[in-house]
Chain A
């Protein structure tokens, strides 16, 4: 594949008498109601027997017009909406949006707020990866990891609930800082979670990492090179598993990430197994970051000085963060009023989904499932 951007060749839906044998391929519609498409993704597969000749994603079944809604809300009012995009990693979405607006307003969150943000975001990264692991394993046929990950994810959600009252769509941050001061015993809860979770990752790995069937199902499946990743704009663990050491937390540090010591796990081959390993390692790194952040949590106010009515100066800003799934960017244009003139979200899932066709070409139907799982898409984010 020299030109990954060439896209899918036109699918001929009027192919006469499609059978398994003749020249015209079998066309199968997978989704939008299908157990393995993680929501309402529709994939049109062009098959030659079991081999995938090409595929086309049909998206938009979950489109809610989030970006348009932003134009009719004030900056603060739009904040909860972003949680509904990548609902598995709501905290990351909020962080990205808040930081983008802060950049536009030219304010900076207080150090304590930054630390709290890092803790919650990294907890959310772990939760997101857990959900990915469970569903991915279930897609490949291992049902047990799903229940293990959901058991442990519950602990994270409990911390969220105690902190801000919501489990999934947290709306944890405000422009200029945090919504709430931490509750009593927050640090202890987080530390307890870290102690609780460290052996659990080993448990997951014990089930899967050396499982022969798992390795056979994921090795050399959905291979994508670093070059193709960059050409397609693929980011996040998918990019890193292909050997490109690119993590916005290191490359363009935001929040308080500059102050923490952690590594960027990278893969070598860019196959599904590498992506699995990278995400597992990322969970461990996240734990490392959380521990440093909890230990060094500074005291002080949680909110910076922010005017009551937000009226950013005329201008535009692009700010991106490393969400669990990749680069999550917000492009905000301000016309000086209380409402943004335009908000454009760069969702990692949407961009990563482009690579699906390239990664599935010449693989088998069963691999499509594995690749959709390994891309870790959330349709709320793809369709917005």
Chain B
């Protein structure tokens, strides 16, 4: 099925994303930041659906929202500190930071404006009904090695997280 009312949904979802991102970096309370990030991630899953990437959207919801963000919330509650809310949320070099980040953004925009020709309106047909199958075939075909490396990376991450977070092993 083709996405309906594409511009409307695009602007709505990207607006949600950007506002959510803004909230993430401006809220004092980390729980609020995390919730804003969840909104951002869900909106992004919507954008993936519009880009004919339903599998990535599903993974985004399961892994990011259901897994990583729950982990974040969990940790925020574990280190539940009222003190941090009273402190200054931004550090001393905030002005420099914002300036350099904005400069980076300006560079992006410059590149996009200048290099518009490099982005032809070229689309390939991505049949949505077979998206999952094709992704699966590619993961276990072309990207087999990368897949295995990723699994190894996750294993290392599990062990590392356990080692660091546990008081006594």
Contact = CB atoms under 8 A, between A and B. Distances in A.
Nearest to A19: B80
A1 interface: no
Interface residues of B, number: 7
B82 A17 contact: yes
B137 interface: no
Contacts of B77: 20
A19 B83 contact: no
A77 interface: no
Contacts of A20: 77-78, 80
B79 interface: yes
Interface residues of A, number: 4
Nearest to B165: A21
B81 interface: yes
A19 B80 CA distance: 7
Chain A contact surface mostly = loop
A17 B82 CA distance: 8
Interface string A10-45: 000000010111000000000000000000000000
A171 B46 CA distance: 74
B81 A21 contact: no
Contacts of B79: 19, 21
B83 A17 contact: yes
A316 B82 CA distance: 61
A44 to B, nearest CB: 21
A91 to B, nearest CB: 51
A17 B83 CA distance: 9
A209 B82 CA distance: 48
A19 B79 CA distance: 7
Leading 9 A-B pairs by shortest Cβ distance: A20-B78, A21-B78, A19-B80, A21-B79, A19-B79, A19-B78, A17-B83, A17-B81, A19-B81
Interface of A: 17, 19-21
Given A17-B83, A19-B78, 8 more contacts: A17-B81, A17-B82, A19-B80, A19-B81, A20-B77, A20-B78, A20-B80, A21-B79
